[in-house]
Structure 1
């Protein structure tokens, strides 16, 4: 079995496995998922109640996200792992000119 090779990979695996498991639980037994969330599953639903549709959609999303995270961690996909998007965004922010006047002093900002 292949394991993640970096700390970010392990982080993604630790997030992805529970997401995938809880997504699968929600698809197999939505009432069990509601009880895990601390919510009571009503015996009779009111007209227009979309709880089953929401549970199915959110469980499918959690399952997909969990599998995606685990596969990214196992493949050591660096651009996806934590810090990848932030590194590119933060480096752009750091390289942008700072608000300084011509004399080198900071200008006041109205933020």
Structure 2
């Protein structure tokens, strides 16, 4: 794994936010861990985006919501070509699964 091009930073060690989605009123919100994903798209990813233009942020929001998380930020580094995604997820295991899914897709370097 190229740690220089793909980073998973566990900001969750320093900060937590409350998850108010689907929480009953009499139950306190469950804490979420915050992570920053950074990746450089592969040539295959650029070709895919060229052939299938669309709102990448919206697609990512839905994917993260489906696993019980929440997107807090989505950015493109215009000078580096990298994307930066800040997410809140229930635990580190979920973040690791997201990282493995991204790495195994062949769409990031």
- Tell me if TM exceeds 0.5: no
TM score, norm. by length of structure 2: 0.23
TM score, norm. by length of structure 1: 0.23
Give 1 or 2 for the bigger CA radius of gyration.
Answer: 1
Q: Which has the higher strand share?
A: 2
